[in-house]
A and B are shown apart, each in its own frame.
Chain A
Amino acid sequence: MNDMSKDKNIDIQIYNFAYLDENTKRMIRRALLKALCIPGYQVPFSSREMPMPYGWGTGGIQVTSACLIPKDVLKVIDQGADDTTNAVSIRKFFQKTANVAVTEKTSDASLIQTRHRIPETKLKEQQILVYQVPIPEPLRFLEPRETETRKMHALSEYGLMFVKLYEDIAKHGHIETAYAYPVKTNGNYVTDPSPIPKFDNPKMNNNPAIQLFGAGREQRIYAIPPYTNVKSLDFEDYPFEAMKANFKCSICGSSDSYLDEIIVSDDGKRSYICSDTDYCKEQTQLNSKEEDQ
């Protein structure tokens, strides 16, 4: 009976560190390293079923799981916010399965998993940004056959994508694509930046941090190493333009961060707030400090 009471302290492994088993991690890790060696190329991997539905970040969570180390400080954002369901659940998941520290501060985090935003605060060397990706193939809506898109990438045959952007201009007078705006990585592969607003595209270029992309349902991993040339596709006479709503955040007053539109009254009055909650908090604190002085 005495032995039973001691059991509490015995190594009972309920999960392997960061949930995934070692063999799965090896497979993902090989894919990740090849992805870093071939920037923008989508490496197929045998994606696992995760304890959450597809579309909730099963790809991102597998990449995070393969990269996480015990002394990591993890931040998870969903559309820039730390406090939305998806972000909270994934953060809790890794607290439980990897016992890592968590933070909401971009500058304190060593690994950031994100859905659809790049933080406003500049990233640093050796920080890892993991993107959750729904459709990793930028050509998929133009050409549904994987065999064909694979050939198109192999031949750098991206005419179809330019025709799509051109048709936008012919129809609307400007390029309509406002999110998941295609980029060319290291002068070679056209890459889907995941559904981030095109406002965030310039942040991918020459970023000191490591950018990793995981698409669980589509079983693809790709990467943009640090200091890599990432160019948003455009035309000489219709150059790429990063866009945002032309307002100020109604909480912190920032005019240079990406804004969400919210409806604040029954008669449809609108207001704009920062989509990056950590940045907004920081700006608010800075403002109140200035007022105190």
Chain B
Amino acid sequence: MENNYHFSEESINSSISFRSLVNATSYPGRHFQITKLKKPNILSNAAATILITLCDNESNVYLSKDFSTEEVKDWLIFNTGAIVSDKQNADFAVGDWESLLPLDEFKTGVPEYPERSATLIIEESNYKKIKCNINGPGIKDKLQIELPNPELFINNSHLYPLGLDFYFTNDLDILSIPRSTKISVTNSEY
């Protein structure tokens, strides 16, 4: 069957971006690619894609210090209508690893509503990387990845089914560590 309708580019792009997010969230610890978009320079394509695909006027977004610029705020509000918020109320938070710490100020959900928790978008920066084994839902057997401060991710997974969900973003690349992922440090010297 053929039709002559034309779908808007926005709609097509958002669907393709979301599908990458579904795959990344479903298969934690694996790298997935998203496509380029128009965005402020400081944001990676991947981080900008998450914000523009998921946020609307019901979303509280926390921008950590380097990302809290007029340019980013204008871009975010113009494109999504999201509310720029503080850490405690954030549904989404963007920043490099150091600037998002400490993690315990973010909301982790409540037992009746564990989904009312923050999603953290961590931009690539020069954090100390430590080798970890991960397993759990979405991971066949186990995977090895590198994480900053693995003890914080281990604490987070102990809160399960509450907890924070993480996306690591680097240019076009995206990798997820949801709260359901179990982490163990492989390097004994740590």
Contacts and interface: CB of A to CB of B under 8 A. Distances in A.
A5 interface: no
Contacts of A33: 21-22, 25, 54, 119, 165
Given A23-B56, A27-B56, A37-B25, A95 B180 contact: no
B115 A17 contact: no
A68 B10 CA distance: 14
Contact of B137 (A15, A92, A99, A225): A225
Question: Mostly helix, strand, loop or mixed at chain B's interface?
Answer: loop
A33 B118 CA distance: 12
Interface string B161-189: 10001000000000000111000000000
Interface in B1-24: 1-8, 10-12, 14-16, 18-19, 21-23
Contacts of A210: 22-23, 26
Contact of B14 (A22, A41, A128): A22
A214 B55 CA distance: 21
Given A13-B5, A70-B12, A36 B160 contact: no
Q: How large is the interface on A (under 10, 10 to 19, 20 to 34, 35 or more residues)?
A: 35 or more
A69 B1 CA distance: 17
B75 to A, nearest CB: 17
A225 B11 contact: no
A79 B39 CA distance: 46
Contacts of B101: none
Contact of A25 (B5, B14, B115): B14
A37 B179 contact: yes
B148 interface: no
A15 B180 contact: no
Contacts, number: 137
A16 B15 CA distance: 11
A277 to B, nearest CB: 21
A155 interface: yes
B27 interface: yes
Contacts of A31: 115
B5 A14 contact: yes
A270 interface: no
Contacts of A150: 112
A36 B10 contact: no
Contacts of B40: none
A12 B8 CA distance: 9
Contact of A39 (B21, B55, B115, B137): B137
B114 A41 contact: yes
Contacts of B115: 31, 34-35, 37-38, 41, 43
A8 B178 CA distance: 47
A85 interface: no
Given A22-B14, A69-B16, A29 B53 contact: yes
Given A25-B15, A125-B27, 13 more contacts: A22-B14, A26-B54, A29-B18, A30-B59, A32-B22, A34-B165, A41-B115, A67-B15, A69-B12, A126-B23, A225-B137, A225-B138, A226-B26
What are the 4 closest A-B residue pairs judged by CB atoms, nearest first? A154-B111, A17-B7, A37-B178, A34-B115
29 contacts: A13-B6, A13-B8, A14-B5, A17-B15, A23-B56, A29-B21, A33-B119, A36-B22, A36-B26, A37-B115, A37-B165, A37-B178, A37-B179, A38-B115, A41-B115, A41-B161, A67-B19, A69-B12, A69-B16, A99-B2, A125-B27, A128-B22, A208-B140, A210-B22, A225-B26, A226-B26, A226-B138, A227-B140, A228-B137
